[in-house]
Amino acid sequence: MSRVAFLLLIEDDEAVRTALEMSLTRQGHRVVTAPTGEDGLQSLREQRPDLIVLDVMLPGIDGFEVCRRIRRTDQLPIILLTARSDDIDVVVGLESGADDYVVKPVQGRVLDARIRAVMRRGERESNDAVTFGSLVIDRSAMTVTRDGVDLQLTPTELRLLLELSRRPGQALSRQQLLRLVWEHDYLGDSRLVDACVQRLRAKVEDVPSSPKLIRTVRGVGYRLDAP
């Protein structure tokens, strides 16, 4: 890793908080913790972490709400920690803006792998810029502008857009995208892709309900088209 990631862990259960803090610290991350959503939002403002690991079941405002509030101002990566693998929770979590999720009881190594994968998404790479209609993707500056206005994208959204823009006009399956963007294994959750595409469309499309840029390819996945 290029540098030590600075994590904010929001978890109400003291044992879990302590255990995960120890585990993540041991994996080489710098960790601050918060026991409630409110405390977590305050720590976010004061300490500016690189990434948030967020428990869903929190006293007071729950993880989904925390996630939504963070997304209003910040685009930093969020990994949800859910004790419920019930589908509805996962979907609600992804829709509230989370980049990835892990289900309890989580292994430290898995969480670490996810964190590193998320962090890698923000790394810059090539140095050219491409234009899709009114959308300009500057790969060197890692910025995206639409009609000259800077778009606030999370690293995951940005990486998804970059992967799609690298193969314009070519359909990428959800599974491919999961591997490219999320670095998930062969049984990754494709709803991560769907939720992220949805959020991305909301930011880059003129009319998100009838997308012109990020098109759905029936039976395959998604494709970036120049309008």
Partner 1 sequence: MKGARRGEADDAPRPRGRLRRWAHTLLSLTSLRLRLVTVFALVALVAAVSVSGIAYWLNRDAVLTRAQESALSDFSQSLGDRAGALPDQPTCDALRLMADRVANRTFHYEVVLEDARLPEGDCRAESDPAVFTREMVPDSLRDAVRDRREGQPEDDQYHLYWQRISLDGDPYLVGGAQVIGGGPAGYLLASLAPERDDLNSLAVSLGVATALAVIGSVLLAQGAATMVLRPVQRLSNAARRLGEGKLDTRLAVRGADELAELTRTFNNAAASLEAQVQDLSDRETSSRRFVADMSHELRTPMTAITAMTELLEDEVETLDPRVAPAVQLVVSETRRLNDLVENLMEVTRFDAGTAKMVLDDVNIADQVTACIDARAWLDAVHLDADRSITARLDPRRLDVVLANLIGNALKHGGSPVRVTVREHEDDEGGRLVSVEVADQGPGIPEDVLPHVFDRFYKASASRPRSDGSGLGLSIAMENAHLHGGDITVHNDPVGGAVFTLRLPHDPGLPEDRADDPDSGQETPPGGGASVPPGRPATPAPRRGERSDKGSGKETYDGSAEEDRR
What residue ranges bind partner 1 (CB under 8 A)?
13, 15-16, 18-20, 22-23, 26, 83-88, 90-92, 95-96, 102-110, 113, 117, 173-176, 179, 183-191, 194, 197-199, 201, 208-211, 215-219, 221
CB of 53 to partner 1, least distance (A): 12
**What would the two tokens of residue 217 be?**
């390819």
Beta carbon nearer to partner 1, 117 or 144: 117
Record the tokens describing residue 41, joined without a space.
């939002």
**Contacts for 78 with CB less than 8 Å, ≥ 6 apart:** 51, 52, 54, 67, 70, 71, 97, 98, 99
Minimum distance of partner 1 from residue 103's CB (angstroms): 6
Q: Of the two residues 30 and 223, which places its CB atom closer to partner 1 in the complex?
A: 223
Taking the complex as a whole, the smallest distance from the CB of residue 211 to partner 1 amounts, in Å, to: 6
- The least CB distance from residue 129 to partner 1, in Å, is 27
The answer to whether residues 10 and 33 touch, using CB atoms and an 8 Å cutoff, is yes
How far out from the chain centre does Cα 138 lie?
Answer: 20
Closer to partner 1 by Cβ: residue 48 or 115:
115
The nearer residue to partner 1, 38 or 95, going by C-beta atoms, is 95
Q: Closer CB to partner 1, residue 32 or residue 83?
A: 83
Instruction: Provide, rounded to whole angstroms, the least separation between the CB of residue 4 and partner 1.
Output: 19
